[in-house]
A and B are shown apart, each in its own frame.
Chain A
Amino acid sequence: SAVISQKPSRDICQRGTSLTIQCQVDSQVTMMFWYRQQPGQSLTLIATANQGSEATYESGFVIDKFPISRPNLTFSTLTVSNMSPEDSSIYLCSVRTGGLTQYFGPGTRLLVL
């Protein structure tokens, strides 16, 4: 299994600012992912965070808006840039282990005013 922590757990931000979310895993994992859960919705994959290379973004998500870092096999950050109220969501970090089970962090609840 994998234990994932995220910081911050929640934040309230002003329009136009940026927020960086940190994800820490208790073991080395190859595959890390960032998901968004908008209010009342299910989860949508933003990007796959690749160690040592650029993140791979899903359709509808771009690097300028959601830059991602993956400096090592246990850590990643997601930045939500130039925020608007539409970015208010829960952002979840996720990892997949060798057993193929996918684990999720507790999420970061973001409210943009």
Chain B
Amino acid sequence: KQEVTQIPAALSVPEGENLVLNCSFTDSAIYNLQWFRQDPGKGLTSLLLIQSSQREQTSGRLNASLDKSSGRSTLYIAASQPGDSATYLCAVVDNNAGNMLTFGGGTRLMVKP
């Protein structure tokens, strides 16, 4: 059974710092991996989708990498801003799990002004 872990569970940084959020998964036979953002009391916003054949995806100040063989993905946030404060979730779709997204526990990020 696929398990997804995110480290750290919580992170507090001053504004302007570059930061890295980590995601690891136990079964490397994934179809794709997706990073989401969840603001308090809100739904999820899709940030980046990485197909299993890709190594990274970039959107603005966000860069997500994927190392499928080692079961790891990182989300890099450049020049963090207070508006980046949210919970960041990674989720994988397995090759053998049909349609199910398996989520990590999330990293709760606080960017202080």
Contacts and interface: CB of A to CB of B under 8 A. Distances in A.
A100 B51 contact: yes
A42 B99 contact: no
A104 B49 contact: no
B59 to A, nearest CB: 12
A42 B46 contact: no
Contacts of B43: 4, 92, 104-107
B44 A33 contact: no
Counting contact residues on chain A (CB < 8 A from B), the size range is: 20 to 34
Contacts of A92: 43-44
Judged by DSSP, the binding face of B is: strand
B75 to A, nearest CB: 16
Contacts of A48: 98-100
Given A101-B49, A102-B34, A107 B99 contact: no
B99 A106 contact: no
In the A-B complex, list the 6 residue pairs whose CB atoms are closest, starting with the nearest: A104-B44, A106-B43, A42-B103, A107-B43, A104-B43, A43-B103
Interface of B: 32, 34, 36, 41-46, 49, 51, 89, 91, 98-101, 103-106
26 contacts: A33-B99, A33-B101, A41-B105, A42-B89, A42-B104, A42-B105, A42-B106, A43-B89, A44-B103, A48-B98, A48-B100, A56-B98, A92-B43, A92-B44, A94-B101, A96-B99, A100-B32, A100-B49, A101-B34, A101-B46, A102-B46, A103-B46, A104-B43, A104-B44, A107-B42, A107-B43
